């Protein structure tokens, strides 16, 4: 490190301290969801608020601002495509974002979204949109103010919000990809509905004890490459992956005896996130002797929600729902989950886990229809933010789109526009990252299959490391060095497009439903 100018060394130290506070906050959050007894909740809220304050102070200190400016003025640091230059650029990005928001707006947002979550919960239970309406209006109003501060009055307001989750993404560009994708996805789904023969899915409904699900899921995660010496798997109501700190990535899942696929694909999904976290350049001290230590710095952090989601969806769907995967996994599943699997073949189970059928609830949607749910939310929240759609008109607009895109009647707002917590949380601009993740994931999948033609054979033999190595080299190891789009172009040679996802879905779903693949989709 002595090769660096003093200002950079100091900046690294400041950034790592802020990052350490963030990692402490992550542990507080993880413990709250896993092991904290209920009586600890009030004290935990106080601890979390204190750490959040200390983190904000550390991230927005005058010293941090001065060190960033000093580094930016040093041409030896800023020239060339280096990790140092990327770290400085991204620390500037974070610093500006945090310092642009007035403290009064930050606390108003925190308070309002805390209250609106409670309001949403009751409103959803009672399917009472009117009760949630004033809260959504407040959240939107504050979100507009936030977007105005972040955008300095330039460009579409929505872009300033999505940029928080997906650096560089623009609503107009997303729209340009989503609109044709929606038509083509609808065509596939309707074709399946009208002309397909659904696979036999009996095996999905068979009961499997939680302990057997856990043993099998853990075995799969370990086999795919998740390092349990640098991570773990626990049980929570809502599954998640938390990169607590370098060398410490924690997954959670839930076990329902009546749905073993829920835990298996839940684990594979979170494991995909976890493999990304474990693949960041954290250096030898944190168990990655093969990479430089960028821990606590932007180049050691995940670049965006979309890229994160691409990793989880790739492992969950492209790998986990493939026949090749089941060629390897089925004998192990038979051994660990017993009679349930006795009558299955890789073909039968590979078909059963790939049904595609329009449904009302996003989180229960299958791979074929999921993105239609996202597109609806993207359109609606963008219109709500711009004011083109009034909150009062939201339920009607929601229901109309579910009828058009998915052919479904929404019986009430509980299973309609009140189903997701995101807007109550103030997460406007978050939804499109799910579909961006699917698009990136399919594009990465196409690229790696192209570069490793024997990938199916390797997976069928339980050899996952060539795939993981490819993802590490192309994605994980770069952290925030490149923007999501740059990363996509570097990894696949092309900007993100809808074609890989469409190719992937038709190639998988049509055979499952016994449909001869039409040309030109």
Considering beta carbons, is residue 42 or 520 the nearer one to its own copies?
Answer: 42
* Phi, psi for 345 (deg, rounded to 5): -120, 165
Considering beta carbons, is residue 18 or 353 the nearer one to its own copies?
Answer: 18
Tell me which residue has tokens 């009055």: 153
Q: Residue 50 Cβ, how far from its own copies at the closest point, in Å?
A: 5
H or E stretch covering 307: helix 305-313
- The CA-atom distances, in angstroms, between 49 and each of 20, 44, 103, 242 are 15, 8, 14, 19
Write the binding mask 215 to 254 for its own copies: x where contact by CB under 8 A, - elsewhere: ------------xxxxxx-x---------xxxxx------
**Does 400 help bind its own copies (rule: CB under 8 A)?**
no
Q: Is 183 a catalytic residue?
A: no
Considering beta carbons, is residue 50 or 507 the nearer one to its own copies?
Answer: 50
Residue 5: other Cβ atoms inside 10 A: 14
Binding to its own copies, residues 7-36 (CB under 8 A): 16-17, 20-21, 23-24, 27-28, 31, 35-36
DSSP state of 339: G
Considering beta carbons, is residue 282 or 323 the nearer one to its own copies?
Answer: 282
**Does 52 help bind its own copies (rule: CB under 8 A)?**
no
Write the binding mask 254 to 293 for its own copies: x where contact by CB under 8 A, - elsewhere: -------------------------------xxx------
**Do 203 and 352 form a contact (C-beta atoms < 8 A)?**
yes
Residues 6+ apart with CB under 8 A from 401: 376, 379, 380
**Do 246 and 296 form a contact (C-beta atoms < 8 A)?**
yes
**Does 299 help bind its own copies (rule: CB under 8 A)?**
no
Q: Which of 90, 242, 270, 282 is catalytic?
A: 270
> What's the rounded Cα separation, in Å, for the pair 139 and 132?
11
Q: Residue 152 Cβ, how far from its own copies at the closest point, in Å?
A: 34
**Nearest Cα to Cα of residue 231 among 219, 251, 249:** 249
Q: What's the full length of the chain, in residues?
A: 521
Residues 6+ apart with CB under 8 A from 17: 58
Considering beta carbons, is residue 237 or 516 the nearer one to its own copies?
Answer: 237
**Does 46 help bind its own copies (rule: CB under 8 A)?**
yes
> What's the rounded Cα separation, in Å, for the pair 368 and 380?
21
Considering beta carbons, is residue 44 or 357 the nearer one to its own copies?
Answer: 44
**Does 38 help bind its own copies (rule: CB under 8 A)?**
yes
Q: Residue 473 Cβ, how far from its own copies at the closest point, in Å?
A: 21
> What's the rounded Cα separation, in Å, for the pair 180 and 73?
45
**Does 453 help bind its own copies (rule: CB under 8 A)?**
no
Q: Residue 300 Cβ, how far from its own copies at the closest point, in Å?
A: 11
Number of residues that bind its own copies (CB under 8 A): 40
The token pair at 277 is 């976290």
SS3 of residue 452 by DSSP: coil
**What is the set of active-site residues?**
270
Chain residues that interact with its own copies, rule: CB under 8 A: 16-17, 20-21, 23-24, 27-28, 31, 35-44, 46-47, 50-51, 54, 227-232, 234, 244-248, 285-287, 295
């Amino acid at each position: 490190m002595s090769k660096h100018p003093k200002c950079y060394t100091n900046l690294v130290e400041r950034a790592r301290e802020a990052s350490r506070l963030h990692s402490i906050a992550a542990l507080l959050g993880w413990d709250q969801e896993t092991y904290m007894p209920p009586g600890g909740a009030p004290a935990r809220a106080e601890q979390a608020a204190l750490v959040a304050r200390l983190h904000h102070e550390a991230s927005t200190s005058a010293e941090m601002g001065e060190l960033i400016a000093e580094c930016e003025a040093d041409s030896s640091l800023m020239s060339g495509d280096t990790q140092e230059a990327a770290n400085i650029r991204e620390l500037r990005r974070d610093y500006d974002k945090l310092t642009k928001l007035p403290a009064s707006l930050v606390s108003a947002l925190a308070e309002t979204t805390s209250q609106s979550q409670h309001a949403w919960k009751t409103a959803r239970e009672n399917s009472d949109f009117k009760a949630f309406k004033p809260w959504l209006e407040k959240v939107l109003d504050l979100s507009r103010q936030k977007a105005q501060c972040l955008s300095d009055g330039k460009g579409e307001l929505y872009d300033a919000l999505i940029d928080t989750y997906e650096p560089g993404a623009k609503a107009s560009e997303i729209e340009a990809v989503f609109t044709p994708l929606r038509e083509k996805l609808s065509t596939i789904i309707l074709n399946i509905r009208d002309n397909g023969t659904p696979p036999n899915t009996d095996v999905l409904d068979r009961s499997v004890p939680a302990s057997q699900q856990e043993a099998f899921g853990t075995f799969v995660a370990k086999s795919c490459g998740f390092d349990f010496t640098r991570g773990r798997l626990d049980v929570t109501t809502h599954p998640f992956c938390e990169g607590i700190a370098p060398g410490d990535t924690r997954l959670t899942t839930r076990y329902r005896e009546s749905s073993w696929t829920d835990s298996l694909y839940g684990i594979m999904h979170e494991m995909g996130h976890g493999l990304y976290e474990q693949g960041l350049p954290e250096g030898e001290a944190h168990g990655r002797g093969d990479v430089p230590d960028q821990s606590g710095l932007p180049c050691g952090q995940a670049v965006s929600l979309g890229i994160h989601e691409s990793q989880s969806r790739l492992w969950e769907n492209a790998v986990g729902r493939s026949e090749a995967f089941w060629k390897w996994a089925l004998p192990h599943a038979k051994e660990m989950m017993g009679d349930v699997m006795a009558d299955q073949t890789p073909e039968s189970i590979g078909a059963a886990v790939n049904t595609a059928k329009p449904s009302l609830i996003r989180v229960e949607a299958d791979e074929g229809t999921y993105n239609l749910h996202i597109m609806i939310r993207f359109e609606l929240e963008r219109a709500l933010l711009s004011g083109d759609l009034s909150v009062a008109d939201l339920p009607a607009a929601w229901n109309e789109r579910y009828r058009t895109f998915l052919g479904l009647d929404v019986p009430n707002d509980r299973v309609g526009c009140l189903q997701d917590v995101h807007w109550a949380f103030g997460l406007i601009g978050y939804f499109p990252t799910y579909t961006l993740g699917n698009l990136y994931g399919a594009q990465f999948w196409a690229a790696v299959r192209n570069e490793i033609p024997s990938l199916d054979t390797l997976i069928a033999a339980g050899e996952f490391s060539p795939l993981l190595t490819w993802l590490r080299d192309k994605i994980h190891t770069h952290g925030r060095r490149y923007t999501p789009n740059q990363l996509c172009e570097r990894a696949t040679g092309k900007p993100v497009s809808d074609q890989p996802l469409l190719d992937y879905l038709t190639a998988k779903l049509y055979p499952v439903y016994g449909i001869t693949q039409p040309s030109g989709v």
